[in-house]
Amino acid sequence: MIIQYTLYLKNLKLFEALYDAEGKSLTRLIDSIREAVSKGGEPFEQLHALIDRHRTSS
């Protein structure tokens, strides 16, 4: 069943992009994701907004 794989592999490229934006620091990545998802809403959408903010500020 495909779902048993996709559960663990969704949007890995998005996480990679955020990881790069955070200087390849896992600590900073986790902190920034924690802050982004604390606002509520769909977490992947919050991460897309976060990466957009990174792109506009750089």
Partner 1 sequence: MRAGYEEGKILWRREPITDFLEKPGIVADTKEKLGLVLAVRDYADKTLKMNVGGSYSSYSYVDRPALTYILTAVPKTELKPYTWWFLFVGRVPYKGYFSIEDANRAAAELQREGYDTVIRTTAAFSTLGWFDDPLLSHLLRYDQVTLANVIFHELLHNTLYVKGSAEFNESLANFVGGHAAIDFFRDKFGEGSAEHQRAVLAWQDELEFADFLEGVTNTLNTLYARNIPLEDKLRLREQVFAQSKSEWASRLADPQSYRFRNFLTNRLTTR
Contacts with partner 1 by CB under 8 A lie at: 1-13, 15-16, 19, 26-27, 29-30, 33-34, 37, 42-44
Q: How far is the CB of 16 from partner 1 (least distance, A)?
A: 8
Q: What ranges in 1-58 are assigned the alpha helix state H?
A: 3-9, 12-21, 26-37, 43-57
- Using the minimum distance from each CB to partner 1, give the nearer residue, 3 or 57: 3
Query: Any idea how long the chain is?
Result: 58
Question: Closest separation between CB of residue 55 and partner 1, Å?
Answer: 20
Please name the helix (run of DSSP H) or strand (run of DSSP E) that holds residue 45, with its range, or none.
Answer: helix 43-57
